[in-house]
A and B are shown apart, each in its own frame.
Chain A
């Protein structure tokens, strides 16, 4: 049960776009459509912002989008705003062990 790989940090200026990658394996990120992304502000519980690779739950800004290519999923945040500064985690289902794997988290800084 190895964690998924994310960059430790990314940054961008207001209005710009950034992309966070999440690399796994064929048995997790690369299989089915069971990849989610979570946003976590300091001292708060995580919040689901993308499910099933590309789906935005109700109430989530359309500035957040998800995609996948092979064993790597990506989260793109467009039109960066100060409130987007947070930690972001990917999560995928690993079907051999019927477990969930999280990425190590990426700290997004809005300059």
Chain B
């Protein structure tokens, strides 16, 4: 069955870096688009980034452009989110999601990994 498991979260100082991983099982990442969506404690959902099915196109929310990079490694069947120059307002639970059909059909979600940016 389809499974997504995020890892790599933790506590990091402002200005630091983290790389989140999203390990996929039950399917190949080659054939789907993936989004990262985050949720600050007690707050709503915020879209962060997407990588298209062909792996060639990536798009980001304005607040992370130039700091975050979404990528995938088909040999590891894993999607990544590299986060640099982290700020306190990047603190959130980060979810990896897989599209099923159209771009907003985020049909499969991992449990999330928590990122806390604090000194």
- Tell yes or no: B45 within 8 A of A by CB: yes
With CB as the reference atom, state the residue of chain A lying closest to B49: A99
> Which listed segment binds A: B17-25, B73-81, B82-90, B105-113?
B105-113
Q: Pick the contact of B59 from A38, A40, A98, A104 — CB < 8 Å? A: A98
Contact-residue size bin, chain A (C-beta under 8 Å from the other chain):
20 to 34
- A51 and B104 form a contact (CB under 8 A): yes
Name the distance in Å between A48's Cβ and chain B's nearest Cβ: 5
Partner of B103 from the list A34, A48, A89, A105 (CB cut-off 8 Å) is: A34
Given known contacts A89-B45, A100-B50, A52 and B105 CB-to-CB distance under 8 angstroms = yes
Residues in B52-79 with C-beta less than 8 Å from chain A: 59-62
Q: How far is the CA of A40 from the CA of B93 in the complex (A)?
A: 14
Query: Which residues of A45-59 are within 8 A (CB) of B?
Result: 45-48, 51-52, 57
Q: How far is the CB of B84 from chain A (nearest CB, A)?
A: 20
B44→A102 contact, CB < 8 A: yes
Least distance between B6 CB and chain A CB atoms (Å): 10
Compute how far the CA of A95 lies from the CA of B61 in the bound complex, rounded to whole angstroms: 13
Given contacts A51-B105, A93-B103, A93-B104, contact A38 B45 (CB under 8 A): yes
Interface residues of A (CB under 8 A from B): 1, 3, 33-36, 38, 40, 45-48, 51-52, 57, 87, 89, 91-93, 97-105
